[in-house]
Amino acid sequence: MNYNGNKAKNIKIAYIGGGSRGWAWGLMSDLAACSDISGEVYLYDIDFQAAYSNEVIGNMFNECENAKSSWSYHAVKNIGEALNGANFVILSILPGTFDEMESDVHSPEKYGIYQPVGDTTGPGGIIRAMRTVPMYEYFAENIKKFCPFAWVINYTNPMTLCVKTLYRVFPEIKAFGCCHEVFGTQKVLSQALDSILNIKGIDHKAIKVNPVGVNHFTWITEAKYKNIDLFPVYEKFAEKYSETGYTENLDNNWMNNVFECSQKVKLDLFKRYGYIAAAGDRHLAEFCEGKWYLESPKKIRQWGFALTPVSWRKGDLKNRLEKSKRYISGEEKVSIRETGEEGVNQIRAILGLEDLVTNVNIPNIGQIPNLPLGAVVETNAVFTDDSVKPVMAGDIPKEIYPLIARICGEQQMLDEAIAKRDIEMIFNVFVNDPLVTCSLHEARELFSQMVLNTKDYLSDYDLSSLGV
């Protein structure tokens, strides 16, 4: 890499999971839209063919009329080739296939456990972590070997466990996890400004917040727009919409627009706890007691959000595969569009092109004094020249400490349990989870089934105690 005035050139980005038909295309678009950085992107995927298709597609972005920079894409068969000397590493994988995810999400339903997402927490998130963490141990070891000074950006869920694993295996790693859920809540705050104070059209980035907590269960303890304290505004908004929900379309992000919610969970949590839960309702509901928002499909509908069946994801993937083919055949043209993701701006800030303050998932070095040191937490951070430093976010307020400390402690325990490949300890995280509302006996049965269903990806574990 080198600089030419205020432009950074010859950047090498390694994209692990580079066969992705979604995040990858978004990144390609964001890179092409950015005028002051350029270089090469190495695509590594266990499905080489997918990576290769993306090499072709990626290079097409250079031809877009409004492309402001040029990037060359290379699919490689060896992770070392992708990582070697990389300046940035992007981790964005699907751990296993949607068949495994189908088990993660839907197996618990016969025990009355419903998961709108199932990739972060709850039974689904825990089993997914069992698959994912060993892969991340492998990534961390290879990053240590091939590009120890690279900045590593994680997009994979379960976010907290992925980032924790990277730091556990390679403590000097410069890694962080990047998630857009807080942005969605900033948009809700912008809507509240509109609805309550008739201040219209405020970009979510102009809403300044202090997020605390863990990924997908992040809470906002301060929110300002210029000199306006948004808490009283949001309180009126909650009074107005907590019964009916707020149903204006929130987001056009490709991941979210089929996954909408009416903010009723968010508003209920605000009315009950006095702080602003800052993720989509589908995520938030999964961190609360199972009986609160996920008691039954009927109740879930009343709370104004949908369960996302994995069959939908399968169909969606099929569509994206077809789109990939159309791109490659030239039947459809790639185009540069606004993704709303911040990855490229984070890269630019780290390169010293423009400072950025945004939320990020990194180990707690004291930014949240009353959560355990070393636990991966989400707060704001300052991104600047070769540096990402958390902003002091302060203690989790007393009202929401029990909710968050419990989850954070479970994640810490799950990290240790998986690190030790200790099935019994993993089960004890599982049975502790707020969604596991069934009996001890049923929980054990469910756990065994879910492990069995996904055992092809669990060869690292001794499953004999489960009879698997």
**What are the residues facing 174 on neighbouring strands?**
151
Dihedral sign computed on CA atoms, order 35, 39, 40, 41: negative
Q: Nearer to its own copies by C-beta: 345 or 432?
A: 432
The yes or no reply on residue 239 touching its own copies (CB under 8 A) is no
Q: Closest by alpha carbon to 296, among 116, 42, 36? A: 116
Backbone region of residue 66 per phi and psi (left: phi > 0; alpha: psi in -120 to 50; beta: other values): alpha
What is the x/- site pattern for its own copies, positions 4-33, by CB under 8 A?
----x-------------------------
3-state secondary structure of 74: strand
**Is the CA virtual torsion 164, 178, 130, 137 positive or negative?**
negative
Choice from 35, 97, 319, 439 touching its own copies (CB under 8 A): 439
Q: Which of 109, 141, 248, 289 binds its own copies (CB under 8 A)?
A: 289
Which of 416, 448, 452, 460 is the binder for its own copies (CB under 8 A)?
416
What DSSP string runs through 331-362?
SS----------HHHHHHHHTTSS-EEEEEEE
Q: What number of CA atoms fall less than 13 Å from residue 365's CA on the CB side?
A: 9
CA distances from 158 to 117, 133, 217, 356 (A): 11, 9, 12, 25
Q: Which is nearer to its own copies, 318 or 389 (CB)?
A: 389
Query: How remote is the C-alpha of 237 from its chain's centroid?
Result: 27
**Would you say 15 or 270 has its CB closer to its own copies?**
270
d(CA 100, CA 282): 20
- Give the chain's length: 468
Q: Closer to its own copies at the Cβ: 18 or 245? A: 245
Q: What are phi and psi of 277, to 5 degrees?
A: -70, 135
Nearest one of 213, 204, 169, 206 to 186, comparing CA atoms: 204
232 sits near its own copies (criterion: CB under 8 A): no
Among residues 59, 84, 345, 437, the one that binds its own copies under rule CB under 8 A: 437
Query: What does the per-residue mask of binding to its own copies show for 291-310, with x meaning CB under 8 A?
Result: xxx-x---x-----------
Least distance to its own copies, CB of residue 138, Å: 24
- Of 62, 428, 448, 449, the residue at the interface with its own copies (CB under 8 A) is 428
Q: How far is the CB of 352 from its own copies (least distance, A)?
A: 4
Binding flags for its own copies, 82-121, as an x/- string (CB under 8 A): ----------------------------------------
Active site residue 74: no
Closer residue to its own copies in complex, CB, 312/401: 401
Q: Does 438 bind its own copies (CB under 8 A)?
A: yes
Gap between the Cα atoms of 387 and 2, Å rounded: 17
CA distance 389 to 364: 11
| CB closer to its own copies out of 413 and 468 | 413
Site for its own copies in 354-413 (CB under 8 A): 355, 357, 365-367, 369-370, 372, 380, 382, 384-387, 389-394, 398-399, 401-403, 405-406, 409-410, 412-413
Question: For its own copies, which residue of 167, 231, 254, 273 counts as binding (CB under 8 A)?
Answer: 273
With beta carbons less than 8 A apart as the criterion, state whether 25 and 52 touch.
no
Residue window 189-218: x/- pattern of binding to its own copies, with contact defined by CB under 8 A: -----------------x-x-x--------
Distance CA 31, CA 398 (A): 42
Closest alpha carbon to 414 in 121, 95, 102, 109: 121
Binding of its own copies at residue 425 (CB under 8 A)?
A: yes
Using the minimum distance from each CB to its own copies, give the nearer residue, 238 or 438: 438
Q: Which two tokens stand for residue 171?
A: 């403590």
Closer to its own copies by CB, 52 or 303: give it: 303
CB of 384 vs its own copies, minimal distance in Å: 5
Report the 10 Å Cβ neighbour count for 304: 19
Within a 13 Å sphere around the CA of 417, how many CA atoms are in the beta-carbon half? Answer: 20
Catalytic residue among 180, 204, 216, 283: 180
Residues in touch with its own copies (CB under 8 A):
1, 3, 8, 206, 208, 210, 222, 224-227, 229, 272-273, 289, 291-293, 295, 299, 351-352, 355, 357, 365-367, 369-370, 372, 380, 382, 384-387, 389-394, 398-399, 401-403, 405-406, 409-410, 412-413, 416, 424-425, 427-429, 431-432, 436-440
Catalytic residues: 180
